[in-house]
Chains A and B, each alone.
Chain A
Amino acid sequence: MTDTDPLEQRIIDQLDRRATDLDGATASRLNQARQAALQQLGRRRWYQPGWWMVPAASGLAVATVLAVSLGVLKPAVDVLPNDGLETRLAEFELLADDAELALLDELDFFLWVEGQMDPSDQSDPLG
């Protein structure tokens, strides 16, 4: 088909008519949709990079430097005793053991039981 092809022109005319002869309800909805879209103009998404990031990043950097220099963010590994891999694994097993965790939960009770026991009495206080 060329630009002057009558069949092509007829197709285009039909499609144009369909686009221009929209019923009122459809045209109104299109208008509403366009207005809703235009409301988005100039709105910045909260995560969109912009100048606001400069003071935020600067503040974060300063806070991090201060925290490190004051020892607040001391590396956690320094807190743990450096006594080898086997000890760490044993501690891990202890922490992972549910029974031992239950013992820790009821530590106050067991301490009280121990306090009630007479050193000379070997019988079970709960028995």
Chain B
Amino acid sequence: MMTSSRLMQMPTVLAEPSTGTEQLRQRVDRFLRSVERKALVMTQLRTSDPEAALDIVQDVMLAFVRRYQNKPEEQWPPLFYTALRNRITDWYRRRASRGRWLGALTSRFGGDTDSPQEDLIQQAPAAANADPAHRLADDQFGTALNGALQSLPERQREAFLLRSWQGFSTAETAAAMGCSEGSVKTHLSRATKALREQLGAYNDD
């Protein structure tokens, strides 16, 4: 029979692993806080869809915790952005696939002329939201920056955002992008050149 003194010891024994979990929880929480907002902005730039961007970032946070919580902490930033890039690619594939099916069904059954209008109506409230993208649109430079970044080829934009904005090293950027450091340098060089050409008029403001 278990004595009361042994019963008193049990919480102490059980508390040890939970302390480790709590420390891990704090580290993961701190890391996710540090990346979530920039990840959202990057995803908004890619998708131009604030709702989809939020869903994607949420999925990536879940996937990151499930898969990479036991990885060394210094690997977390590139792993997180690798997961983000893969999830965005997946979102594009699904959207393209859905578009093909909808296109096929529309051509097969004649289509619904109300649908495009409904889509526009659905998009209208999002455009009216005071989200950062639209507050930036009030700023002329912000608008021009949006256009310039979105006109960049994907790899160039990714290299610029990770290397110049996020402050990743060339090696970390290469790990996140799944390419060589030489490729990162090339993409970054082309991105900065294109941005300078498109935004050069704002250089002296």
Residues of A within 8 A of B (CB): 1, 6-8, 10-12, 14-23, 25-26, 29-30, 33-34, 36-38, 40-42, 45
Q: Which of A7, A15, A26, A45 meets B131, CB within 8 Å?
A: A26
Q: A10-B202, A30-B37 are in contact. Are A1 and B192 (CB under 8 A)?
A: yes
Residues of B within 8 A of A17 (CB): 132, 136
Distance, CA A20 to CA B145, complexed state (A): 17
Residues of A within 8 A of B200 (CB): 7
CB distance from A34 to the nearest CB of B (A): 5
Pairs across A and B, CB under 8 Å, 5 listed: A18-B41, A33-B62, A36-B62, A38-B29, A41-B28
Residues of B within 8 A of A (CB): 21, 24-25, 28-29, 32-33, 36-38, 40-41, 50, 54, 57-58, 61-62, 64-66, 69, 129-133, 135-136, 139, 141-142, 145, 161, 164-165, 192, 195-196, 199-200, 202-203
Chain B residue, CB-CB nearest to A7: B203
Residues of A within 8 A of B29 (CB): 34, 38
Asked if A41 and B132 sit within 8 Å, CB to CB, the answer is: no
Q: Which 6 pairs from chain A and chain B are nearest by CB?
A: A33-B58, A37-B61, A19-B37, A18-B132, A1-B192, A37-B65
Asked if B21 and A42 sit within 8 Å, CB to CB, the answer is: yes
Distance, CA A30 to CA B41, complexed state (A): 12
Q: Which of B28, B133, B195, B196 meets A38, CB within 8 Å?
A: B28
Residues of A within 8 A of B66 (CB): 40, 45
Asked if A7 and B36 sit within 8 Å, CB to CB, the answer is: no
Distance, CA A29 to CA B40, complexed state (A): 11
Asked if A19 and B40 sit within 8 Å, CB to CB, the answer is: yes
Asked if B65 and A33 sit within 8 Å, CB to CB, the answer is: no
Q: A1-B164, A18-B41 are in contact. Are A11 and B58 (CB under 8 A)?
A: no
CB distance from B132 to the nearest CB of A (A): 4
Asked if B24 and A23 sit within 8 Å, CB to CB, the answer is: no
Asked if B131 and A23 sit within 8 Å, CB to CB, the answer is: yes
CB distance from A27 to the nearest CB of B (A): 8
Distance, CA A26 to CA B39, complexed state (A): 13
Distance, CA A34 to CA B136, complexed state (A): 25
Residues of B within 8 A of A38 (CB): 25, 28-29, 32, 65
Chain B CB within 10 Å — which of A10, A29, A30, A36 has the most? A30
Distance, CA A2 to CA B135, complexed state (A): 28
Q: A30-B57, A37-B64, A37-B65 are in contact. Are A8 and B164 (CB under 8 A)?
A: yes
Distance, CA A17 to CA B141, complexed state (A): 13
Chain A residue, CB-CB nearest to B40: A30
CB distance from B50 to the nearest CB of A (A): 7
Q: A26-B50, A30-B54 are in contact. Are A20 and B37 (CB under 8 A)?
A: yes
Chain B CB within 10 Å — which of A1, A37, A45 has the most? A37
Q: A38-B65, A42-B24 are in contact. Are A22 and B165 (CB under 8 A)?
A: no
Q: A14-B139, A23-B131, A38-B25 are in contact. Are A33 and B54 (CB under 8 A)?
A: yes
Asked if A6 and B40 sit within 8 Å, CB to CB, the answer is: no
Distance, CA A34 to CA B33, complexed state (A): 8
